[in-house]
Amino acid sequence: MRKDNNGARKSGDFLAGKGFYIVLFACIAIIGVSAWILAATGGTTDPIGEVMTQAPIQQEPPPRVTPPPNEQHRLPQLPTMGDADTFSPHVPEEPPEPPPEEPPSVPTMAEEPEVREDEAETPPPRQRTIEELTFVWPVLGNIEMPFSVDMPIYHRTLAVWRTHPGIDIAAAIGTRVLAIADGTVVDVFEDDMLGTTVVIDHGNYLQSIYANLARTPVVSPGDNVAMGAVIGAVGDTAIGEIREVAHLHLEMTLNGEPANPEDFLPNR
């Protein structure tokens, strides 16, 4: 009986001494191992110390919301990731810029502007001098009344003495009258005293005047005539010389002053 008491005493001394620290260390070790296993596996321990693995939490996907039928057509259709290669965003095209205006080409001294054939103007013929002109008598006949501007001459029709700024060449009525030189018809009119009259300009301020012609001459103002061209016929339209023999009244002016036709006409 005493022996049992000694064993119990020794056991109590052991627990009170070193044994207490051994038991404490073992408990700490068990707790540490359990904590490591729990951290490594994500499980939990029950009160007995068994490690249980924690099952993963499965989350249910949110319910799909389907828009009403009327709203489905209003939702924009966006490209998916798989359509990245074929999707091309619409970019408004910018209008092309107009080409810059080129300044008009200015012909230089080395080049001349191109002139089309239909636009080319024929230069007017060179005007010949009086010395270069060739003259011909308008009609052939005697001179019934000469040129006289310095001394008066008796006019039988008017029964007066007066100057005569031309020459009267006798010719039958109807005789063709010729242009005395090249020129341009500048006037056709009826003179009160000299009757039907045609005026031809020969250039260089020289003109020839044909009067007492038939009523209808064959030329008009603006006509170009050559030397010897027919311009009309001898008539009887000059009432101021009606008592004279049938004739052509011919005058010439140079620089607006009367000139003697015989100074220009060839010798007969």
Is there a domain that residue 124 lies in?
no
CATH of the domain at 171: 2.70.70.10
Report if residue 186 sits inside a domain: yes
- Indicate whether 93 belongs to any domain: no
Structure tokens given for 26: 């073992």
**194 is a domain residue:** yes
Domain boundary among 11, 35, 52: 52
In a domain, 222, yes or no: yes
Sign, CA dihedral 224-132-203-247, equals negative
Looking at the chain, how many residues does it have? 268
The domain containing residue 16 runs over which residues? 2-52
Alpha-carbon separation of residue 56 from 36, 42, 43, 53, 59 (angstroms) = 19, 10, 10, 9, 9
User: Domain ends where: 34, 52, 70?
Assistant: 52
How would you write the pLDDT of the chain (268 residues) with one tens digit per residue?
444 555 555 555 555 556 667 777 777 878 877 777 776 665 544 544 444 445 455 556 556 655 555 544 454 555 555 544 444 555 556 666 767 676 666 555 555 556 565 555 666 556 678 888 999 999 999 999 999 999 999 988 888 999 999 999 999 999 999 999 999 999 999 999 999 999 999 999 999 999 999 999 999 999 999 999 999 999 999 999 988 999 999 999 999 999 999 999 999 8
Number of domains in the chain: 2
- Name the maximum alpha-carbon separation found in the chain: 214
102 in any annotated domain: no
Task: Answer yes or no: is 94 within a domain.
Answer: no
Stated pTM of the model: 0.54
Residues 253 and 145 in one domain: yes
Structural domain includes residue 254: yes
pLDDT at 107: 54
**Residue at token pair 């002139």:** 115
Handedness of CA 170, 209, 189, 220 (dihedral sign): positive
Q: Nearest CA to 185 among 205, 202, 166?
A: 202
